[in-house]
């Protein structure tokens, strides 16, 4: 199924940046996480109030400092007043430090819980969800989006509250000291707001373009690194360099404009603030000369003039951070709002002891026998009888890819699917696992509708060897043991022997304890597939699915493991998707598919005698996919 861009919850502006469509809802959901630390947030609020009060009150102390001590020449009193101011500012700094440390703690705990919930939800989502998203987009939710949310919680909330309180407090004190001068300052503040709206808006748009550009650049880099072998095979180095240069230039242009506008903001704001300060000094000085304004009040007022523009600048800077974080949080919550896999199973897979008379008794230890336990405790032996009854399926509602599929696999039978690429072979095995829900018909497992079996139990009863291997970072033994975490070292080695993997494993630097990384990049494709087969062998499943399991293994290696595979398949119901028809000749039933329909069925000899599609494939007259 083709992958496409992940549909986001928000609309995009003309620059391609996705903005939050429901800021209030997103913030409310985010506050649901932050709100788990109500006491700490209350403590932060107290610290912010205390810090803001100390900052404002410390400036006000300049008035008595000058009027009551400096002008009269009371130096002992001046020393005491300076000590008081020092204590006030020290308390403010201490409270500011305390609020910052607490918010860091709250921020890290919050994003940790958010990240954990996001990962848990992803594990519960159906494959259909991942079919329509790229890996890079999903990874971005755990990196870029979580990081912007962390930054917002860590600094933006506290900064907004502090700046707002400081602005209101400083403006109030300015009115208290001299309302005439305050009107002049308000006029300059209005000019600053116009600057913030004009330049800040352009800066925000370009920062948004910069984020979109870096996302595109990172995605391209990831894609090129993963596909480096293909790039070299087809000689596309120059083309990939050109593609990178184009995206890099887009990022540079957006970054240059963003930094240019952001860099212009501070000088303009600073110059307007200085003009405001100069005008206030002149007018205030005239008022002081005329006896209307005392010198101490003028000094305190001028200090407030320096402070009053800072909150405006801080708030404008935090707005971009909050919008970016809100957009990231909305993308995170859009994933967490996805409907998880529905599991209404009433039957659970359990280990059982089977008596001579056929009586089943549930047991804890692994016995080699399994049964389906119903909610009432009834046990149904797992025999591996799988049946499709008039099944229709499509990955989308608009297009059906399987039409009226009916088949059966009796316990211990080997059933093979052959046909051209896109005929529906892998889709059938995906339905046995219930990776997708069928549109019509039924699939039964030992007479039980698979929709009535717990998904975890259903999938534990099935061993799968896929064509595309995936190895995790860890030792060879750990990768094989992934099939059954409680397997002993001896069982892992036995599984490797069964799969024919022991020979090459012993030649690795540390044998079974050799650490693999980069998806086993230092192994050949055949060696990786052998480990994949050993992983299925150690799981010892009652039903086995081989999805072109030996397609990546050369003929010589295939022959070496053929006996081991026969031992692995012995006594099990096996579904085989064939790449080479020689591997399915001994199947009890071979189903030939074309365009989602079963067009022929029978064993090898029967199908050859029919002189139909299978005969053409076997004789090399048609292409096998």
Partners of residue 388 on adjacent β-strands: 407, 443
Q: Are 608 and 614 in contact (CB under 8 A)?
A: yes
Q: Residue 625 pLDDT more than 70?
A: no
Which of 497-528 are b and which e, b meaning 16 or more Cβ less than 10 Å from the residue's Cβ?
Answer: ebbbbbebbeebeeebeeebeeebeebeebbb
- Indicate the pLDDT class of residue 554, thresholds 50, 70 and 90: low
- Indicate the pLDDT class of residue 561, thresholds 50, 70 and 90: low
Kindly state the tokens that stand for 401: 């890819």
Q: Residue 233 pLDDT more than 50?
A: yes
Residue 121: is it exposed, middle or buried by C-beta count within 10 angstroms (0-12/13-18/19+)?
A: middle
Partners of residue 415 on adjacent β-strands: 575, 589
- Residue 510's closest CA among 477, 536, 486? 477
**pLDDT above 70 coverage of the chain, percent:** 89
- In tens, the pLDDT along 200-211 reads 667 667 776 776
- Indicate the pLDDT class of residue 493, thresholds 50, 70 and 90: very high
- Indicate the pLDDT class of residue 14, thresholds 50, 70 and 90: very low
pLDDT value, residue 490: 92
More reliable by pLDDT, 503 or 262: 503
Q: Are 305 and 185 in contact (CB under 8 A)?
A: yes
pLDDT value, residue 318: 76
Residue 568: is it exposed, middle or buried by C-beta count within 10 angstroms (0-12/13-18/19+)?
A: buried
pLDDT value, residue 300: 86
More reliable by pLDDT, 331 or 133: 331
Kindly state the tokens that stand for 537: 């062998």
Q: Residue 612 pLDDT more than 70?
A: yes
**Number of other CB atoms surrounding residue 182 within 10 Å:** 22
State how far the Cα of 498 lies from the Cα of 561, in Å rounded to an integer. Answer: 8
- Indicate the pLDDT class of residue 624, thresholds 50, 70 and 90: low
Kindly state the tokens that stand for 217: 């650049």
- In tens, the pLDDT along 49-95 reads 999 999 888 888 888 888 888 888 888 888 998 999 999 999 999 99
pLDDT value, residue 557: 63
pLDDT value, residue 19: 54
Find the range with the poorest average confidence among 81-85, 255-259, 321-325, 621-625: 621-625
Q: Residue 4 pLDDT more than 50?
A: no
Residue range 109-125: mean pLDDT, rounded: 90
Range picked from 216-225, 372-381, 464-473, 576-585 for highest mean pLDDT: 372-381
Helix axes 23-34, 75-124, angle to 10 degrees: 100
Residue range 540-565: mean pLDDT, rounded: 71
- Indicate the pLDDT class of residue 373, thresholds 50, 70 and 90: very high
**Based on C-alpha coordinates, what's the Rg of the chain?**
35
Residue range 292-311: mean pLDDT, rounded: 83
Kindly state the tokens that stand for 145: 């989006």
- Indicate the pLDDT class of residue 245, thresholds 50, 70 and 90: very high
State how far the Cα of 225 lies from the Cα of 207, in Å rounded to an integer. Answer: 27
Q: Are 57 and 63 in contact (CB under 8 A)?
A: no
Find the range with the poorest average confidence among 212-216, 522-526, 593-597: 212-216
pLDDT value, residue 234: 66
- Chain centre distance of CA 73: 67
- In tens, the pLDDT along 147-195 reads 888 888 887 778 888 888 888 888 888 888 888 888 888 888 888 778 7
pLDDT value, residue 562: 65
- Indicate the pLDDT class of residue 7, thresholds 50, 70 and 90: very low
Q: Are 37 and 26 in contact (CB under 8 A)?
A: no
User: Could you tell me the domains of the chain?
Assistant: 1-8+22-176 (1.20.1560.10), 348-381 (no CATH), 386-618 (3.40.50.300)
More reliable by pLDDT, 135 or 444: 444
Q: Residue 313 pLDDT more than 80?
A: no
Angle at 337 between CA 331 and CA 343, to 5 degrees: 140
Q: Residue 5 pLDDT more than 60?
A: no
Residue 427: is it exposed, middle or buried by C-beta count within 10 angstroms (0-12/13-18/19+)?
A: buried
Residue range 513-537: mean pLDDT, rounded: 82
State how far the Cα of 334 lies from the Cα of 8, in Å rounded to an integer. Answer: 7
Residue range 217-236: mean pLDDT, rounded: 75
pLDDT value, residue 53: 92
- Residue 107's closest CA among 170, 41, 179? 41
pLDDT value, residue 447: 92
Mean pLDDT for all residues in the chain: 82
């Amino acid at each position: 199924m083709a992958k496409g861009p992940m549909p986001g919850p928000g609309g995009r502006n003309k620059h391609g940046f996705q903005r939050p469509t429901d800021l209030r809802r997103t913030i409310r959901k985010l506050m649901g996480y932050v709100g788990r630390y109500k006491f700490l947030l209350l403590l932060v609020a107290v610290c912010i109030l205390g810090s803001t009060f100390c900052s404002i009150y410390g400036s006000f102390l300049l008035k008595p400092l000058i009027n009551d001590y400096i002008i009269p020449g009371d130096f002992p009193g001046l020393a005491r007043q300076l000590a008081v101011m020092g204590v006030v500012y020290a308390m403010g700094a201490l409270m500011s430090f305390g609020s910052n440390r607490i918010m860091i703690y709250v921020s890290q705990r919050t994003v940790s819980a958010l990240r954990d919930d996001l990962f848990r939800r992803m594990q519960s989502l159906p494959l259909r969800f991942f079919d329509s998203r790229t890996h890079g987009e999903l990874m971005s939710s755990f990196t870029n989006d979580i990081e912007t949310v962390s930054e917002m919680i860590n600094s933006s909330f506290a900064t907004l509250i502090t700046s707002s309180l400081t602005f209101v407090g400083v403006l109030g004190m300015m009115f208290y000291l001299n309302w005439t001068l305050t009107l002049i300052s308000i006029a300059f503040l209005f000019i600053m707001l116009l600057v913030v709206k004009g330049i800040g808006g352009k800066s925000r748009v370009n920062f948004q373009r910069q984020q979109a550009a870096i996302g595109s650049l990172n995605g391209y880099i990831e894609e090129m690194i993963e596909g480096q072998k293909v790039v070299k095979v087809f000689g596309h180095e120059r083309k990939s360099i050109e593609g990178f240069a184009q995206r890099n230039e887009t990022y540079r242009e957006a970054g240059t404009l963003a930094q240019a506008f952001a860099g212009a903001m501070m000088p303009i704001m600073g110059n307007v603030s200085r003009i405001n300060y100069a005008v206030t000094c002149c007018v205030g000085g005239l008022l002081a000369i005329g006896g209307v304004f005392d010198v101490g009040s003028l000094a305190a007022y001028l200090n407030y003039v320096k402070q009053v523009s800072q909150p405006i600048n801080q708030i404008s800077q935090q707005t971009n951070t909050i919008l970016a974080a809100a957009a990231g949080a909305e993308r995170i919550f859009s994933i967490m709002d996805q409907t998880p896999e529905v599991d209404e199973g009433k039957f659970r897979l359990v280990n059982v002891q089977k008596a001579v008379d056929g009586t089943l008794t549930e047991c804890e230890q692994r016995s080699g026998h399994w049964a389906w336990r119903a909610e009432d405790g009834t046990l149904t032996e797992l025999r591996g009888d799988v049946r499709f009854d008039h099944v229709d399926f499509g990955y989308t509602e608009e297009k059906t890819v399987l039409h009226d599929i009916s088949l059966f696999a009796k316990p211990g039978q080997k059933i093979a699917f052959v046909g051209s690429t896109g005929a529906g072979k892998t889709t059938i095995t995906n339905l046995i696992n219930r990776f997708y829900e069928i549109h019509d018909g039924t699939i039964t497992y030992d007479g039980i509708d698979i929709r009535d079996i717990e998904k975890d139990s259903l999938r534990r009863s099935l061993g799968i060897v896929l064509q595309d291997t995936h190895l995790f970072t860890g030792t060879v033994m750990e990768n094989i043991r992934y099939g059954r975490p409680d397997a002993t070292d001896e069982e892992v080695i036995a599984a490797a022997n069964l799969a024919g993997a022991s020979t090459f494993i012993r030649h690795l630097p540390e044998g079974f304890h050799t650490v693999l990384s980069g998806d086993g990049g230092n192994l050949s494709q055949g060696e990786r597939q052998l480990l994949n087969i050993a992983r299925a062998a150690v799981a010892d499943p009652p039903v086995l699915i081989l999805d072109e399991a030996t397609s990546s293994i050369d003929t010589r290696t295939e022959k070496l493991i053929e006996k081991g595979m026969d031992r692995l398949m012995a006594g099990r119901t096996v579904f085989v998707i064939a790449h080479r028809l020689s591997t399915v000749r001994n199947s009890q039933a071979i189903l030939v598919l074309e365009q989602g329909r079963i067009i022929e069925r029978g064993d090898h000899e029967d199908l050859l005698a029919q002189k139909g599609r299978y005969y053409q494939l076997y004789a090399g007259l048609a292409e096998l996919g």
